[in-house]
Structure 1
């Protein structure tokens, strides 16, 4: 077998394997969509797989008509944007000085950062700290503890180190300060990695759940994920009541849960295509030092 035929065979095998992996990943997603769009009878009979049966939009109507769900959506968007901006500002502010070899204690700081990737104080000390800082039931309790991700910080440091030092030296000769060099030269050249890390931070905050469960008890500060959790718990109670002979609700809890999951998933899926062009290049550039 010559090299061209071997390459074609390899491409075909890869295509088949990746298609199967894609199908396996899509099946649960399609199943949730189908349940959210199906009427009660097919769901009860177990007829819904990856295609909706007897299409009904009642579950989505219930979700969209819930004022608390809409309020949670708006708050989640606000929280995600604020979290991403704060995290990126702090990550950039930490990464740029750590690229300077003349910074005293640079290696010790890097060792401390790496240490936090493997060891932490745990949930209880973190909760005590947040409570003593009077951050419980505030937006900042969901931002400050996660403000800098060590792994993302190291990626950004690696990317900054890949930028030719001659550019910074030229700026310094022209009288530019460190802050001016960062803003005028480093950041414009770093847009791919900044967009990539922003997407990572945004997705982490959008999907974040455990910290909201610990720190937030005020219904006005419920993010969408916590609201979804409450909906699932209430749906399980409704399931139990139906099993005990209570009246059947107009929309099945399973359909309502599926519609809520889609409602929480679609916004972040809409954002991803806008940043996709930066995604691969940002990861590759941030992982290899030039």
Structure 2
């Protein structure tokens, strides 16, 4: 028994050590490129022009960020990104929750048909050209609402919320209806507050998707006043084919390069998600555990 215990303890130590080494390697693989982007964004144009990996800026400079913020278009694009993300997340979560609550009730007529139709949309789509023609026929081209209306429903999110709503005790709804509440008040005042972990998880995923989305702008928007921050970043990356940045904020930039402005824009674009994620982390963790254990 002693030999078996010693052998088992040795195996556990080897397993834990290998696990820690692998996690350390994966962490370094993820963190080193991120660190390089952040540090390089604070480097001068001369240091960036020399090339190579920058672990610490030899010439600390804020010119890249000054160049970004001198462009008034960046501030407007930042506002568009915040507006479309905030409105998109709220409407998406509410609409998905409303549909999921209805489909979670077994007595709803045609429920199986609606669920089947929804599942089909998860695997098949009309394609890019038919979708473009639909957006055009709805009058959503060059409209802010092209960011909101097509993203209202995701049946994958509906399925997650349906499974959560099924676990809410029906006695709560019955007692509320006895007290005179209708279906809408039950949904708004009982179901929604009880579903915050699931809703926060859906909001986090959808928020990241909305914030990072630039293809919607690329396909359906030509009006630059509706460009989000991600589209501005895309244009900066395209412009990085040239070696000098001659018109940022209406003036010639000497101490920065296109690459420097590109890196600074990447950091600015990523920062809101980095700040918001810790605020939703506790809901995110509990929401990810939904349905993991069956009793």
Give the TM-score taking structure 1 as reference length.
0.91
Residue 93, structure 1, aligned to residue 102, structure 2:
no
Which residue pairs with 1:129 in the alignment? 134
Which residue pairs with 1:51 in the alignment? 56
Q: CA RMSD in A?
A: 2.1
Task: Determine which of 271, 275, 278 is the counterpart of 1:270.
Answer: 275
CA contact (8 A) 1:159 1:287 kept: no
Tell me the distance in 2 between the aligned counterparts of 1:53 and 1:131: 51
Please give the secondary structure, in 2, of the residue aligned with 1:285.
coil
Tell me the distance in 1 between the aligned counterparts of 2:89 and 2:229: 17
Instruction: Give the gaps of 5 or more residues in structure 1.
Output: 242-246
Please give the secondary structure, in 2, of the residue aligned with 1:236.
coil
Q: Cα offset for 1:63? A: 0.6
Which residue pairs with 2:214 in the alignment? 209
CA contact (8 A) 1:30 1:51 kept: no
Please give the secondary structure, in 1, of the residue aligned with 2:109.
coil
Query: Size of the alignment, in residue pairs?
Result: 285
Which residue pairs with 1:71 in the alignment? 76
Which residue pairs with 1:158 in the alignment? 163
CA separation of 1:30 and 1:110: change in aligned 2, threshold 3 A: same
Structure 1 stretch 150-159 or stretch 6-15: which is displaced more?
6-15
Q: Cα offset for 1:192? A: 0.8
Task: Determine which of 181, 198, 202 is the counterpart of 1:197.
Answer: 202
Instruction: Give the gaps of 5 or more residues in structure 2.
Output: 247-251
Which residue pairs with 2:28 in the alignment? 23
Q: Residues 28-55 of structure 1, C-alpha deviation per residue, up to 9 Å, x if partnerless?
A: 2111112211122332222433332321
Tell me the distance in 2 between the aligned counterparts of 1:142 and 1:103: 31
CA separation of 1:288 and 1:221: change in aligned 2, threshold 3 A: farther
CA contact (8 A) 2:240 2:259 kept: yes
The list of structure 1 runs, each at least 4 consecutive aligned residues, that deviate by more than 6 angstroms after superposition, is none
CA separation of 1:287 and 1:156: change in aligned 2, threshold 3 A: farther
Q: Residues 234-285 of structure 1, C-alpha deviation per residue, up to 9 Å, x if partnerless?
A: 22234699xxxxx995311111110111111111211111101111101112
Which residue pairs with 1:138 in the alignment? 143
Residue 61, structure 1, aligned to residue 66, structure 2:
yes
Please give the secondary structure, in 2, of the residue aligned with 1:237.
coil
CA contact (8 A) 2:99 2:158 kept: yes
CA contact (8 A) 2:245 2:253 kept: no
CA separation of 1:157 and 1:287: change in aligned 2, threshold 3 A: farther
Structure 1 or 2: more helix by fraction: 1
Which residue pairs with 2:249 in the alignment? none
Tell me the distance in 2 between the aligned counterparts of 1:271 and 1:45: 35
Task: Determine which of 5, 9, 15 is the counterpart of 1:10.
Answer: 15
Tell me the distance in 1 between the aligned counterparts of 2:49 and 2:163: 54
Q: Cα offset for 1:9? A: 4.2
